[in-house]
Amino acid sequence: MRAVVQRVKEGAVEIENREVGRIGQGLVIMLGVGQNDQEKDAEYLAEKIANLRIFEDKQGKMNLSIKDIKGQILVISQFTLYGDCKKGRRPSFISAALPEKAVKLYNYFIKCIKNYGLKVETGEFQAMMLVKIYNDGPVTILLDSEKLF
């Protein structure tokens, strides 16, 4: 499972000109599910993200987590995180999980991250979305559970 985690001042997601999710200060997470991912991958990423110290304390050091600042999270499904561009010019998405599996693990990740007591908004699985991100810093972290297991 792969996640692009962005620290934001605010974020929102629209589908067909209709806002379906909005957050204030917090994190926008682009989440991709791979063919070999399991629930343990979602659990690992949720725990890692909930405790990731990327928010500044009073001294300006990145010492605080999303839990510490009582921030909000916007989760967007993004299979393109599994795009392989090694050959040719068109990415191959063969490593991405099929939709039936991906939606289950996407929803499981959302459940796991909510268990940390955080406000979580989402996009819509498999929808064409417009994501508005006001990146703060900018701070962008890449996480991949595959490198762990």
Residues marked active site are found at 78-80
Let me know the angle formed at the C-alpha of 67 by 56 and 107, rounded to the nearest 5 degrees: 125
